[in-house]
Amino acid sequence: MFEFEIAAEAGAARAGTLALPHGTVRTPAFMPVGTQGTVRALSPLDLRAVGTQMLLANTYHLHVRPGEDVVATLGGLHRFMGWDGPILTDSGGFQIFSLQGFRRVDDDGVVFQSHVDGSRRRLTPETAMDVQWTLGPDVAMALDHVVAGPADTTTATDALARTTRWLKRCRDRHAALSAEHPGRQALWPILQGGTDPALRAEAVACTLDLGSWSGLAVGGLAVGEPRPAMYATLDALAARLPRILPRYLMGVGFPEDLLEAVARGMDLFDCVAPTRNGRNGQAYTPDGPVNIRNAAHRTDPRPLDETCDCETCRTYSRGYLRHLFVAGELLGLRLLSLHNVRFLIRLGEDARRRVLDGTFAGWRREWLARYTARSAA
């Protein structure tokens, strides 16, 4: 269980398979985000239909509402949300440090204010493990100290040191929880360090010192830094990370970022952008994103994306989709979310196929040139 096998490589890019308790994931793979135990506007059947292999859910949100005990009473996260494939939960660190409201960090953990009812809650490395163990995903994430935005070296160094100390406690607690069910859940650490090469190198070294992990997550990117800085950080990380572990780049992303990250050796991705942007009327196409509310689509009989095999593109015209958005109809939110998720999943599938058949480099170049041509024009 939790083995990762690499079937082919193309430069730093890899085509892998990851064995998890609820199924095998072929990588590169995009994981749709079910923040509150549901991917907004989509059902599990929709997600299966567009090739979703693995979902993400949020420990913070589920802890605050409905509470992990309610989820456990209702059969655990898989049964709760009606998804029988692999699930990964993040630890809550990112949410606690990015949502509005009170928070206080000390070495023991973090006290924060629930965004639902304003109540004060405490999350420690140990309780982060307990909550995720109770929820029951295939992969749990370690609690990290996320620094919001660009930070000075002292702050970033302190946060990294705290993340490392917390990782040790997460590891110990998770080992204790797993003792009787060793194949039930993996714990993956999160590498922080921003875009500072020295901090990133230290994060890798400290993290690898602390355990024999089955996967690693890269946090602290795609948080507003310039794209070249993100890509350079990934290049540097790819050279330092153990080849045989799956690499999960948190919070990515936009289609072009996902493909650039695949080229730099990342395997798993998550982001709310495809569903959030879809609800706002933005649809991904091979020629870049389009805004479906635009009057140009009013009588356009073409699908959003003529190359796409999703229900939205197989069934509906741009003119109808525009009508749904202009008329404020719920179906529009769902149909664009569905297409955007399919777009990213297909990007992972295509990248994998190109790595396997040896055409990745040229395909990537052409794909990015087409996707970005309009915005560059």
The residues of the shown chain that bind a second copy, judged by CB under 8 A, are 36-38, 40-45, 65-66, 70, 73-75, 79-82, 298-299, 301, 311, 315-317, 319-320, 322-324, 326-327, 329-331, 333-335
Catalytic choice (138, 196, 270, 305): 270
Least distance from C-beta 91 to a second copy, angstroms?
20
Catalytic choice (46, 90, 138, 267): 90
> Does the annotation mark 90 as catalytic?
yes
Instruction: Quote the crossing angle between the two packed helices 255-263 and 330-357, to the nearest 10°.
Output: 20
> Does the annotation mark 270 as catalytic?
yes
Residue nearer to a second copy on the CB measure, 226 or 301: 301
Instruction: Quote the crossing angle between the two packed helices 255-263 and 360-376, to the nearest 10°.
Output: 150
Least distance from C-beta 133 to a second copy, angstroms?
19
Residue nearer to a second copy on the CB measure, 12 or 341: 341
Name the amino acid, one letter, at 49. A
Q: Could you give the 3-state DSSP secondary structure of residue 66?
A: coil
Query: In whole angstroms, what separates CA 267 from the centre of its chain?
Result: 11
Residue nearer to a second copy on the CB measure, 275 or 285: 275
Least distance from C-beta 316 to a second copy, angstroms?
6
Residue nearer to a second copy on the CB measure, 120 or 302: 302
Q: Could you give the 3-state DSSP secondary structure of residue 329?
A: coil
Least distance from C-beta 53 to a second copy, angstroms?
19
Q: Which of 224-259 are b and which e, b meaning 16 or more Cβ less than 10 Å from the residue's Cβ?
A: ebeeeebbebbebbbeebeeebbbbbbbbbbbbbbb
Residue nearer to a second copy on the CB measure, 173 or 322: 322
CA dist., res. 15 & res. 9, Å (int) = 6
3-state secondary structure 82-107: CCCCCEEEECCHHHHHHCCCCEEECC
**Lookup: tokens for 142:** 């370690």
Bridge partners of 103, per DSSP, are: 112
Least distance from C-beta 303 to a second copy, angstroms?
11
Q: Which residues are catalytic?
A: 90, 270
